[in-house]
Amino acid sequence: MNRYSQVLDAVRKKKPLVLQITNTVTVNDCANITICFGASPVMSDDPDDAAELAGRADSLLLNIGTVNAKQIEIMHSAADSAEDSAIPIVLDPVGAGASAFRRETVCGFMKKYQLSVIRGNAGELHSLTGRDACVRGVESDESADLSLCAALALESGAAVAASGAADLVTDGKSAVEIANGIPMMGKICGTGCMAGSTAASAAAVASPFDAAVFSHCALGIAGEKASLYAKGPGTFKQALFDEVFSLTAADIETYAKIREVKV
């Protein structure tokens, strides 16, 4: 059994509590994918509540998809408590390249906290390095630049995961490319947010690098399996949850398309 397939069994054995301060557009999807993988989601919309929950949780996800001043306060409250409890923090910088407000918010988190995983699309991640990114709303037409992602990983101390036609994960010193997944995954809203929730679930039981690789590989395999009988985006989304729920370590062993790439 390889190290990535072991993550699934570890999540289902531990059933980690994953606190998610997340995107209101996809909050239900994030909760459901967390449950389907075998972890337990909890969401919060209050600073005091979030701080208390972070003290009890096994990991924390911060997703800025619908960020505002109140949510930033909640995120900082949760992250302060998470650091005190030494639990991993996963950051999803949704739309970071679309506005200065989002980019500055994310940079503030990067400067203040030791993040475990930063995952997003190429444009979002490139924008955090100071490069002008091609971002439309929360979408990006770019392919991930390994050198930029590696630089971001070294600067932040986090594993960086970039989604795209082929997903990329790097800690700045080593990197892998993940070829699992299908174009239909880009036809429904929320697959990126679900990858963040999955990474946060995995980070409770695995290293940041392995958690990031697992999240993209496992979701990609589930997407491939779901596409075999889905008729379109609606039935695909339903099938994706079903396939994540029924995913096994053997599936990851058999279908994972992971290769090492040179940094």
Give dist(CA 5, CA 12) in Å, integer: 12
Percent of the chain with pLDDT over 90: 89
User: In the block, which residue shows the tokens 């203040």?
Assistant: 112
First to last CA, the chain: 26
d(CA 261, CA 249): 24
Hey, what CATH topology would domain 3-261 get? Answer: UDP-N-acetylmuramoyl-L-alanine:D-glutamate ligase (3.40.1190)
Q: What average pLDDT does the segment 100-112 reach?
A: 94
For residue 173, count other CB atoms closer than 10 A to its CB.
10
pLDDT tens-place string over residues 25-81 = 999 999 999 999 999 999 999 999 999 999 999 999 999 999 999 999 999 999 999
- What letters, b where the CB count within 10 A reaches 16 and e where it falls short, cover 113-124? bebbbbbbbbbb
What is the spatial distance between Cα 153 and Cα 115, in angstroms, rounded to a whole number? Answer: 10
State pTM to two decimals: 0.94
The pLDDT of residue 137 is 47
For the cut 70, the answer to whether the pLDDT of residue 131 exceeds it is no
Give residue 161's pLDDT.
97
